[in-house]
């Protein structure tokens, strides 16, 4: 009878486990997945994919980062000269920065005729050298149930110490690695990631925006898709093939591995896998967390972002110069506006709260079946309940601050002047203040190059109103409440006054202030309100720290229990955390809803069907439309004579995977992942095996646009094409 009860408990709990082809798997787990992948059609071994002893697939997977080191996308090397592909929306910011009204390559596209014409891009890339399990080193002597603050401190100290030790050890060997110790399973496991960071990255080619972003926000997260979402860059290095700062004497990088490109195409049921850097998932969020996100957090984010986008659109669609100026900001805001909207609705529609409740009951039954488990995990549910009660009461402050106040550029700029304002207020630190002001002067032009006063004035008025009317008054600074009352809730008049008086509403005024900095900055209306929010944030910090500590402890203990429950060998995928992962599955169609079936691929027919001359989202170059109508496809047509555009797989990906290589059973490139589908947009919280699909750009359409449309066929000479 006991055995039957345990079987039923584990069966209920299985909803929280993911079958081997439904996860984002760390490379260290591939050996255990090899048989399952080969059973689906993989013709390689785990070591062909990840090895520290020989070149392998992981050596051609690119991690895109800002210059400050923040990861934002993935990519793949496709030639022995360091040429790599990523998405158009991943390269969007770099392409925009390289564009001017006189040479608008964002709008018109760009194809370097040779390497001398390639243009320096403002981001870095990293290549993963190896992964090492350092769990025992990090957690040595640290008890699972010790006081959370003490444990957190001990883990941080261990991570810092081990990171330094590993880094110093590699330097002695002549290796300049950036080493990141990354927690898995909410701090129950730790892996060390060794990266080589390359700093000289150059734009090689990009289609025009109305090809690379065909369909705009209407098609974003939707299937069927018909966008050529790609851009091409190249890695440059010093004469020794090692990373170097930008220099005209640098040479193209010679990679350990690059992906051959297959033009053989795909069909329903074909094996495929994706390697890349998924950002963050929250697959094990507690049921009350699901309620909080679906009823409070996501609805507020959707409304706040939509209002800002409305302000942008009012001017962007009237003036090409303003459209270019705000293109990157708009793209960033709109992408997650639609994702948050989908999560708001999907979390409820797919009954994730109820499903999670059932899983939690199964966990409690398993825990209560043994006293030792109750002693270790008995506090988990209580911690979760307390944490989410607190988050429901205080969490929206951070949402309205980040999505409302900080989406007003004057406030965002003022936030970076906090330290300077504090120095200026201290008469003994005027020399330090002056030195800081001189240093900050150099960034003003960069900060205000994407600042159009009429837009920013409207945004400020709208955001102040939404924060005042939407955020619990007890969480609003009293100075903010009084400020709005002073203008009798006339938000337009308030914004007009701010833009007349504040140095943060005008780059020239700010530069004049920095030339002669003074304590008068504390009386600036924008700085006064920012300081009030900053003070409120500081006041709430202990409360939020308490909430986050409870959540961290509950999450860690809960995932420890999951690992303990599955010691018989069942694999549990950890949440995504911006480290390299592999996901595998098949090319697959799906049934979206009753009587609605979607095929697994699209062709040029859909481009022609959607094409609307002059439309902001569905226009396209006449040259492309003529080529598609005339079926001038070159070598890129499929067996039916149509031009493949995009295709579907049942892979498990999330933000950060954008630009990831989609590979066939031989490890050849067949496409570039760029999106998920609307029906499973809440997949960061729960995987939906029947609905979830990855949308990828077929590499044949990529090469068609580059070669036939762009006239850059010379680039094919450095690729390995398999026909």
- Cβ atoms of 158 and 140 within 8 Å: the answer is yes
| Helix/strand/coil for 647 | strand
DSSP E strand boundaries for 664-714: 669-676, 694-698
DSSP state of 657: -
Q: What are the φ and ψ backbone dihedral angles of 130, each rounded to 5 degrees?
A: -165, 165
Which ranges in 45-134 belong to alpha helices (H)? 46-49, 88-97, 105-108
Q: Residue 485: how many CB atoms within 10 A of its CB?
A: 10
Structure tokens at 551: 């959540």
- Cβ atoms of 479 and 532 within 8 Å: the answer is yes
Instruction: Name the active-site residue from 21, 48, 79, 89.
Output: 89
Task: For residues 293 and 284, give the distance between their C-alpha atoms in angstroms, rounded to a whole number.
Answer: 13
- Whether 89 is a known active-site residue: answer yes
Instruction: Name the active-site residue from 200, 229, 652, 684.
Output: 229
Contacts of 457 (CB under 8 A, 6+ apart): 495, 496, 498, 499, 505
| Helix/strand/coil for 40 | helix
DSSP E strand boundaries for 139-289: 178-184, 189-198, 200-206, 231-237, 251-252, 261-262, 271-276
- Whether 257 is a known active-site residue: answer no
Structure tokens at 113: 């005729």
Geometric angle at alpha carbon 503, from 501 and 509, rounded to 5°: 110
- Whether 229 is a known active-site residue: answer yes
Task: For residues 402 and 301, give the distance between their C-alpha atoms in angstroms, rounded to a whole number.
Answer: 9
Alpha-carbon torsion 335, 92, 663, 220, what sign? positive
Report how far apart, in Å, the C-alpha atoms of 59 and of each of 48, 196, 276 are. Answer: 11, 11, 11
User: In 3D, which of 286, 307, 272 has the Cα closest to residue 583?
Assistant: 272
Give the 3-state DSSP-derived string for 334-347, with helices as H, strands as E and coil as C.
HHHHHHHHHHHHHH
Instruction: Name the active-site residue from 658, 660, 683, 696.
Output: 658
Given the structure tokens 């005042």, which residue do they identify? 468
Helix, strand, coil share (%) of the chain residues, nearest 5: 50, 15, 30
Which residues form the catalytic set? 89, 229, 658
């Amino acid at each position: 009878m006991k055995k039957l009860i345990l079987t039923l408990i584990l069966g209920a709990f299985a909803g929280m486990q993911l079958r081997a082809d439904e996860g984002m798997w760390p490379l260290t787990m591939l050996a255990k997945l090899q048989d399952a992948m080969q059973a689906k059609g993989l013709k390689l071994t785990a070591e062909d994919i990840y090895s520290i002893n020989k070149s392998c697939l992981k050596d051609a997977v690119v991690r895109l980062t800002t210059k400050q080191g923040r990861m934002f996308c993935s990519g793949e090397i496709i030639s022995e000269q360091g040429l790599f592909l990523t998405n158009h929306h991943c390269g969007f910011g770099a392409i925009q920065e390289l564009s001017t009204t006189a040479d608008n390559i964002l709008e018109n596209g760009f194809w370097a005729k040779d390497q001398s014409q390639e243009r320096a891009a403002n981001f870095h890339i990293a290549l993963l050298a190896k992964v090492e399990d350092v769990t025992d080193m990090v957690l040595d002597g640290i008890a699972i149930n010790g006081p959370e603050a003490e444990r957190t401190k001990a883990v941080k100290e261990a991570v810092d110490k081990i990171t330094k030790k590993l880094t110093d050890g590699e330097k002695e060997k002549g290796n300049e690695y950036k080493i990141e110790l990354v927690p898995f399973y909410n701090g129950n496991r730790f892996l060390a990631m060794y990266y080589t960071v390359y700093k000289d990255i150059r734009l090689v080619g990009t289609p025009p925006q109305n090809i690379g972003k065909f369909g705009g926000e209407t098609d974003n997260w939707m299937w069927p898709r018909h966008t050529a979402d790609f851009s091409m860059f190249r890695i440059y290095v010093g004469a020794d093939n090692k990373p170097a700062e930008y220099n005209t004497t640098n040479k193209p990088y010679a990679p350990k591995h690059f992906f051959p490109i297959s033009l053989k195409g795909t069909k329903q049921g074909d094996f495929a896998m994706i390697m890349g850097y998924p950002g963050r998932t929250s697959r094990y969020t507690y049921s009350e967390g699901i309620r909080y996100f679906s009823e409070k957090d996501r609805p507020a984010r959707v409304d706040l972002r939509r209002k800002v986008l409305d302000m942008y659109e009012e001017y962007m669609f009237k003036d090409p110069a303003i459209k270019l100026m705000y293109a990157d900001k708009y793209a960033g805001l709109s992408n997650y506006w639609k994702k948050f909207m989908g999560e708001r609705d999907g979390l409820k529609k797919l009954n994730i709260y109820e499903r999670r409740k059932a899983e939690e009951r199964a966990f409690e039954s398993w825990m209560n079946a043994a006293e030792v488990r109750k002693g270790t995990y008995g506090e988990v549910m209580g911690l979760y309940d307390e944490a989410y009660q607190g988050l429901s009461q205080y969490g929206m402050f951070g949402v309205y601050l980040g999505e409302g106040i900080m989406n007003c550029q004057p406030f965002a700029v003022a936030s970076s002047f906090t330290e300077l304002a504090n120095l200026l207020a201290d008469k003994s630190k005027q020399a330090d203040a002056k030195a800081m002001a001189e240093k900050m002067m150099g960034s003003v032009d960069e900060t205000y190059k994407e600042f159009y006063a009429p837009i920013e004035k409207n945004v400020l008025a709208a955001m102040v109103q939404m924060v005042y009317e939407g955020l619990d008054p007890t969480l609003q600074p009293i100075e903010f409440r009084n400020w709005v009352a002073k203008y009798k809730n006339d938000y337009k008049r308030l914004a007009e006054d701010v833009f007349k008086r504040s140095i943060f509403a005008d780059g020239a005024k700010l530069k004049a202030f920095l030339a002669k900095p003074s304590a008068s900055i504390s009386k600036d209306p924008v700085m006064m309100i920012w300081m009030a929010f900053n003070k409120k944030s500081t006041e709430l910090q202990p409360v939020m720290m308490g909430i986050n500590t409870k959540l961290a402890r509950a999450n860690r203990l809960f995932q420890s229990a999951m690992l303990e429950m599955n010691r018989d060998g069942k694999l549990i995928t950890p949440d995504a955390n911006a480290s390299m992962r592999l996901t595998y599955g098949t090319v697959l169609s799906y049934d979206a809803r009753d009587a609605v079936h979607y095929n697994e691929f699209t062709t040029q027919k859909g481009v022609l069907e959607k094409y609307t001359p002059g439309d902001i989202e569905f226009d396209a170059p006449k040259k492309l439309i003529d080529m598609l109508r005339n079926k001038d496809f070159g070598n890129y047509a499929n067996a039916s004579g149509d031009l493949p555009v995009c295709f579907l797989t049942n892979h498990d990906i999330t933000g950060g995977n954008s630009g990831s290589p989609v590979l066939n059973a031989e490890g050849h490139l067949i496409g570039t992942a760029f999106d998920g589908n609307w029906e499973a947009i809440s997949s960061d919280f729960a995987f939906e095996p029947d609905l979830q699909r990855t949308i990828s750009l077929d590499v044949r359409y990529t090469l068609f646009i580059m070669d036939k449309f762009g006239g850059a066929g010379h680039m094919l000479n450095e690729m390995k094409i398999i026909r």
